[in-house]
Structure 1
Amino acid sequence: MIPLSNFMMLSAALFVIGLYAVLVKRNVIQLLIGIEFMINAALINFVAAGKSDKNYMGGQMTALFTIVIAAASVAVALAIILNVYKYYKSIDPDKLNKLRD
């Protein structure tokens, strides 16, 4: 049996990696990957907390809905990124400082 603290340490490490990627990286795709790391850290917390609730499985159900919502948001974000790249020929956030003509 794996203790709950191991899941929490893994989740914290994954969240810190995602936060580092969001704060340091200068590519929109890498920013999106960092956000996904942070969402996955929250999902690990939901599932680990749901391990103690064997009757209702609230953590697992919340994680399942969160996975579906995260997949949909990534699809929308990638569509936006592709349209921005088509218009500006770059996905560097520093170069996209103005979004009008």
Structure 2
Amino acid sequence: MKPAQVNGTTEWIITIEGRPATRCALNVAPSFLSDIKTIEGDPAAPGYFAYTVCLLQGIPAVVAHGPGVKQTDLPPIHWRKDMRMITPSNRQLHN
């Protein structure tokens, strides 16, 4: 099921279709300077680190937060409401 354009077992192509659309290739390896396949003394594949470290680093924030769902933080700059959905009948709700 691996797409033809993917070169290795630790390469992913991430595509987000939107406006604008974005595509990037992510390749995780023990080293790009050598041909080594594993990190000496470490039985886990490099891809596990790329994924798992993000999860582990989130634990303190999750533990420190109270019960419930945390609302998304809004960006501090260059943000405004999506004005495409505002019509004359609901304009007063958005001002």
Shared fold, TM over 0.5: no
Structure with bigger RCO (C-alpha 8 Å, 6+ apart): 1
TM (norm. structure 1) is 0.30
Larger proportion of helix: 1
Highest Rg: 1 or 2?
2
Would you tell me which structure has more strand in proportion to its own residues? 2
